[in-house]
Amino acid sequence: MTVDEFKKEFFENFNKVSPEQLVAELEANGVEFEEYEEELPFNININPLPIIVEDVYNSADESYDYTLAA
């Protein structure tokens, strides 16, 4: 069986299957689903994690990598 022969036979039938039918078929074959929650749009007001730079500048350690504070 060639890939093209397979695709022709498979999609002739698979295209008739609705997404809901497919979910039901997969569930019958042991695949588990859960209800899908719509994701909230990205919230630009979320506070970013604070970048603590104080310790860097107060450090007496000359070898401290100051680029970390950038």
Partner 1 sequence: MDYKKIIGYHGTDAKNEDSILKNNFAESSGKQWLGNGVYFFVEEILNPPDIDAENWAIVTSWNNDSKINTYLNYIVLEAEIELNGNIFLDLDTVEGLEIFNIVRSAILEKLKIAKKKRLKNDLSDSAIIEEIKKQTKVKIIKKKMYVKLTSFERKNKLFSRIPNVSILVVSNPIENINKHTIKIKNKGEIKNDS
- Which of these segments, 3-11, 44-52, 55-63, binds partner 1 (CB under 8 A)? 3-11
Establish if 34 lies at the interface with partner 1 (CB under 8 A). yes
Establish if 39 lies at the interface with partner 1 (CB under 8 A). no
Compute the distance between CA of residue 42 and CA of residue 38 in angstroms, rounded to an integer: 12
Compute the distance between CA of residue 22 and CA of residue 28 in angstroms, rounded to an integer: 10
Tokens of 55: 């310790």
Q: What mask of x and - would describe binding to partner 1 in positions 13 to 32, judged by CB under 8 A?
A: xx--x-xx-xx-xx--xxxx
- Which of these segments, 12-20, 44-52, 61-69, binds partner 1 (CB under 8 A)? 12-20
| Chain centre to alpha carbon of residue 37 | 14
